[in-house]
Structure 1
Amino acid sequence: MDRELGTGRRVVVLGGTGSIGRHVCARLRRDGWTVLAVARHATAVPDAGRFLRMDVAAADVPRLTALLCDERIGAVVNATDGANTSDGWDHPAEHLIETNVRAVRRLVDAIAAVPWRPRLVHLGTIHEYGPVPPGVSVHEDAAPRPAGDYARSKLGGSTAVLDAARSGRIDGVVLRLTNVTGPHPSPAGLPGKLLARARAAAGGERVGMGVADARRDFVDVRDVAAAVSRALASTATGQAFNIGSGAAVPIADVIRALTEAAGLPEGALYDDGSAVRSVGGDWIQADVRRAADVLGWTPEHGLAESLRAMWRER
């Protein structure tokens, strides 16, 4: 059955008030979708659409199925994550497995139980591939070798979506995101931590942080939202797409750009020699050609502009 039969353009964004979900909601509304944001916590998010309070990670299959049927949902965006804006990154493996793997499996089962065929766009992470050698642009065909509990749990959720889509149970894709910058970043991620240090430096402190030789791929959250919209409109199913800039940028360069965006004096943020924490190694660069070829998506916001927007928005 056609996924939009009787549903119109009705989409539910799970995790719709989070640092990424809020931008996805706003973009989809602008693109003509009727949006229902579902999350544990309501926030004052402009253009988010309707809001429903629900702990998606704790919801069973019948409750999720009823939500999709009662709301006549034609598409689902899963922007939930066991490591999130509210809870941070430090969780035991069991928590991450429950929220990033088992909850995604329940969501897949709920979507498969709907009488029509809702489309699912699931947000994964570039860390699912694990560390790669410097100079390598990681492609979607790379064999995943995630390092650490978080990355392994995210791969488990993405695999559940891809397996179900490839077997024909559901219609869906996975977007694997690099480090997300832009307005309202998660304080648990690298950009959010950089922003917090820049704000401290703006208060007159001289703030140290780890820089080393680490390089990361950064993508603006508004470009992520655009990629979600493109993925919902696409007929591709059972595929993963890397969503990033396609460039590995030295963290030292990011700090300099953020210093300039904040109008801070040179040296207000400095390398204190501490280790740079990562779940994906010291080099991250995504091959984003598949997203361009299949989804028609390319990033539009450069890193400097993204950092300026991140600094301006409070």
Structure 2
Amino acid sequence: MRVLLLGAAGYLGRFVADRLLADPAVQLTALGRGDDADVRFDLSTGSPGALTRFLDAVHPGVVINCAGAIRGTASELTRHNTVATATLCESLRRSRCRARLVHIGCAAEYGPSANGSSIAEDAIARPGGPYGVSKLAATELVLGSGLDAIVLRVFSPTGPATPAGSPLGRLADALRRAMQHEDSELKLGGLAVHRDFVDVRDVSRAVHAATLSAAQGVINIGSGHAVRLRDAALTLARISGYGGTLLELEGPPPGVPAQPAGGGSTAVVPQPVPAAAPSHPYPDGCGAWQQADVRTARDRLGWRARIGLEESLADIWMEAACRM
């Protein structure tokens, strides 16, 4: 099976590439903006005609779109997430290859949800920020393209190579610095939110399964369990061996009651919000709570998350510790 992978140099794309390369039945070609791609092409600026000619020449059976941007201005996010997807869909419509499209979406497309709820694929999407808006527009383009297409809405990916700018990446880096400087206190913010963390290696398994499946439409990819960032911080502190105190700079958002810190030898001590703290408690636009309903992934892809958060956190800390 010939597979064309877009965004192979990105966080998810690297693990998807590794997973596909381990399958002897897959012939993989990577297309992207960087020098490490097999073929250089920028989806956000390239023409559909040029990409169509390449598709007709390579004739892939599956195209996987892991390309895009998670940060930038609204204009940049629109260009890299929405316009790029429009170019891809138009090229696939024009091409003679009739490839199946596996498109990577994200939980930010849903926006905030009710505390304690599980978000199913038929939930009304109300993204709370420009990133989610740009990704939802891309999903709608894929679903309306008439292609043989599936959208995997990935919740909060984590595990090895977790980006430093992600919540768990920031926690690990803060712990590393605290231990290097022998700080007895570590001040952290935004720990009241709940997120559905899913290991990036499990995500790559889901992508692989989607290439072999006939399923179409949107499918959630998550663990099915929301975890407080505060609890993840405590677990990471225990794994790292940090013996100090975690000071929480932000209390819970309005309407969300304070809860005890839970297990672990390190306590989280609430602290007043400093004047310089961000006014928006949810910079990802996803609200205080996100948890995936993953029954569709189980039923239609035969997939479920296998790697627990503690194992993911241990891998994150191993990489952070190597920088000490």
TM-score between the two structures when normalised by the length of structure 2: 0.84
Q: C-alpha distance in 2, partners of 1:15/1:207? A: 36
Report the number of matched residues: 288
- Offset of residue 183 of structure 1: 0.6
Q: Could you say which residue in structure 2 is the equivalent of 1:71?
A: 58
Cα RMSD (Å) of the superposition? Answer: 1.8
Distance 1:210 1:69, change over 3 A: same
Q: C-alpha distance in 1, partners of 2:168/2:53? A: 37
Q: Could you say which residue in structure 2 is the equivalent of 1:158?
A: 139
Residue of 12, 35, 43 corresponding to 1:20: 12
Q: C-alpha distance in 2, partners of 1:180/1:136? A: 20
- Gapped runs of 5+ residues in structure 2? 251-276
Residue of 285, 289, 301 corresponding to 1:283: 289
Q: C-alpha distance in 1, partners of 2:191/2:167? A: 14
- Offset of residue 276 of structure 1: 5.2
- Offset of residue 55 of structure 1: 2.2
CA contact (8 A) 1:213 1:282 kept: yes
CA contact (8 A) 1:140 1:240 kept: yes
- Offset of residue 72 of structure 1: 2.5
Q: Deviations over 1:127-150 (max 9, x none)?
A: 111111101100000111111111
Q: Could you say which residue in structure 2 is the equivalent of 1:189?
A: 166
Q: C-alpha distance in 2, partners of 1:210/1:216? A: 15
Asked if 1:252 corresponds to 2:235, the answer is no
Q: C-alpha distance in 1, partners of 2:188/2:125? A: 30
Residue of 208, 214, 217 corresponding to 2:187: 208
Q: Could you say which residue in structure 2 is the equivalent of 1:86?
A: none
Q: C-alpha distance in 1, partners of 2:175/2:209? A: 33
- Offset of residue 189 of structure 1: 2.4
Within 5 A, what are the aligned runs for 1:161-240? 161-164=142-145, 169-204=146-181, 205=183, 206-237=185-216, 239-240=217-218
CA contact (8 A) 1:212 1:276 kept: no
CA radius of gyration, larger in? 2
Q: Could you say which residue in structure 2 is the equivalent of 1:5?
A: none
Q: C-alpha distance in 1, partners of 2:203/2:63? A: 16
Q: Could you say which residue in structure 2 is the equivalent of 1:145?
A: 126
Q: Which amino acid aligns with 2:21?
A: R
CA contact (8 A) 2:56 2:97 kept: no
- Offset of residue 227 of structure 1: 0.3
Q: C-alpha distance in 2, partners of 1:96/1:128? A: 13
CA contact (8 A) 1:179 1:191 kept: no
CA contact (8 A) 2:128 2:284 kept: no
Q: C-alpha distance in 1, partners of 2:27/2:231? A: 40
Q: C-alpha distance in 2, partners of 1:77/1:131? A: 28
CA contact (8 A) 1:200 1:207 kept: no
Asked if 1:242 corresponds to 2:223, the answer is no
CA contact (8 A) 2:43 2:85 kept: no
Q: C-alpha distance in 2, partners of 1:78/1:201? A: 38
Q: Identity of aligned pairs, percent? A: 37
Q: Secondary structure at the match of 2:225?
A: coil
Q: Which amino acid aligns with 2:227?
A: V
Q: C-alpha distance in 2, partners of 1:221/1:173? A: 19
- Offset of residue 248 of structure 1: 0.8
Q: Secondary structure at the match of 2:28?
A: strand
Q: C-alpha distance in 2, partners of 1:37/1:266? A: 45
Q: C-alpha distance in 1, partners of 2:31/2:243? A: 42
- Offset of residue 58 of structure 1: 1.8
Q: Which amino acid aligns with 2:316?
A: M
Q: Deviations over 1:28-77 (max 9, x none)?
A: 1112312222232356xxxxxx7333322222101221222222222111
- Gapped runs of 5+ residues in structure 1? 1-8, 44-49, 84-88
Q: Could you say which residue in structure 1 is the equivalent of 2:310?
A: 304
Q: Could you say which residue in structure 1 is the equivalent of 2:22?
A: 30
